Amino acid sequence: MQKSTHIPKATITRLSLYYRQLELMEFDGYRTVSSDKLAWLCQVNPAQVRKDLGYFGEFGVRGVGYDVKELQEQIKRILAINREWNLGIVGIGKLGSALLQHRNLQVRGFNCVAAFDNDPEKIGETAPLGIRIRDIEELKTAVKELNIEIGVITTPASAAQYVADLFVEADVNAILNFSPTRIQVPDCCMVENIDFTVRLDILAYKVRNEIYAKAI
């Protein structure tokens, strides 16, 4: 049972990493894992693993570790990925099409049930997974028809805010934004921004500093 409602965002990110490592460990035949081992696999401190899990209750046995399968199930429950979620993707260019074909999404319970675009040449065509591309103006109707709970934006920056507004008007209060711009939404709406260029900036900084450190 969750012990605190104030959970750092970084903790949620790490829980996702723990879950993926636990999946791999189960596949490799591990039945238990220590916090030290899990921390090493995820490149964090063992105390951090224990603290992250401690927000949600008592897990594992002192001196023995965590049951790999049981801890997976607990993290799935915490992250609410022990159920299926319906996604609607707006912007069926290269990125949108790639997401529709992303096998891991469906495996993890994220079902792409609708695809939208405003290009007349794309509307009515069949996207990957056999989904018919709908006119963006059909979004509100489709949200109700298909019980879309998460909206995904893969449009150019100039269209992102318009699409976000459509999702909010359709009562979709969770948006994954791949567009290279920040969108404005009401407080009731949750947004995760995925900007690859930011990650590239961070990677470039790390590489530069690694080269500089070796040169000293």
Say how many domains are in the chain. Answer: 2
213 in any annotated domain: no
For 39-97, the pLDDT digits (tens) are 999 999 999 999 999 999 999 888 889 999 999 999 999 999 999 999 999 999 999 99
45 in any annotated domain: yes
Kindly report the CATH number assigned to the domain that includes residue 65: 1.10.10.10
4 in any annotated domain: no
Res 5: pLDDT: 62
Q: What is the pTM of this model?
A: 0.85
Res 199: pLDDT: 80
66 close to 35: Cβ distance less than 8 angstroms: yes
Res 187: pLDDT: 93
43 in any annotated domain: yes
Res 2: pLDDT: 46
| 149 burial type by CB count under 10 A (0-12 exposed, 13-18 middle, 19+ buried) | middle
Question: CA-CA distance, 78 to 188, in Å (whole number)?
Answer: 21
203 in any annotated domain: no
Res 215: pLDDT: 72
- DSSP state at residue 7: -
171 and 106 share a domain?
yes
Res 198: pLDDT: 81
2 in any annotated domain: no
E strand or H helix that includes residue 40 = helix 35-42
pLDDT under 70 in the chain at which residues?
1-5, 216
52 and 101 share a domain?
no
> DSSP string covering 126-195, please?
BPGGGPBEEEGGGHHHHHHHHT--EEEE-S-HHHHHHHHHHHHHTT--EEEE-SSS-----TT-EEEE--
Domain span including residue 132: 85-197
Question: CA-CA distance, 184 to 20, in Å (whole number)?
Answer: 32
67 and 102 share a domain?
no
How big is the chain, counted in residues?
216
